[in-house]
Amino acid sequence: MKVRLFVAVLPPPPVIESLQALARPDLDQVRWTTPAQWHVTVRFLGEVGDPSEVIEAVTGAVGSVGATAVEARLGPATAWFPGHRVLQVPVAGLDDIAARVRAATSRWGAPDERPYSGHLTLGRTRGREAPPRGLDGAPVSTGFAVHGVVVMESALDPAGARYRVVAALPFGGS
């Protein structure tokens, strides 16, 4: 049986609380993500037959990180993801981690040809509607220490994706 996997960084409670303070108006054309769905994707892998092989590969990738933590920085403001209908908060500071994970997991998922673009998704427009004006540009200025990554399972649902942590993998293998 195959499972749909991705590698991510989870924001800590203080970051979630600050994001919850952002305006999320009740609009028919926007489906808001929930705090339980908030993460920064490091790499999407898609359908995988044996999660233990992915976990082993990612463990090796993050085990070689020299630091015990890296700093993720959110902001400076919410924005519509270029070319998509996704309202997101840009996240910087994870490029090295993403490159390590990308190299270690290259046998799974689609080839990554674009540069890594860290972000946390706040909402999506429904269907093909244009993004509503005024939701982007909300200032966001926060950061957090990242001590590792998680391998997540994603189950698609009409109400939105549901995620489950399959493995939590610290930097340096500790």
Q: CA Rg, the chain, in Å?
A: 16
pLDDT < 50 positions in the chain: none
pLDDT in tens, 99-110: 999 999 999 988
pLDDT at residue 173, rounded to an integer? 60
Q: Find the angle CA(155)-CA(161)-CA(163) to the nearest 5 degrees.
A: 65
pLDDT at residue 112, rounded to an integer? 81
pLDDT at residue 8, rounded to an integer? 98
pLDDT at residue 131, rounded to an integer? 81
pLDDT at residue 166, rounded to an integer? 96
Instruction: List the domains of the chain with CATH numbers.
Output: 3-173 (3.90.1140.10)
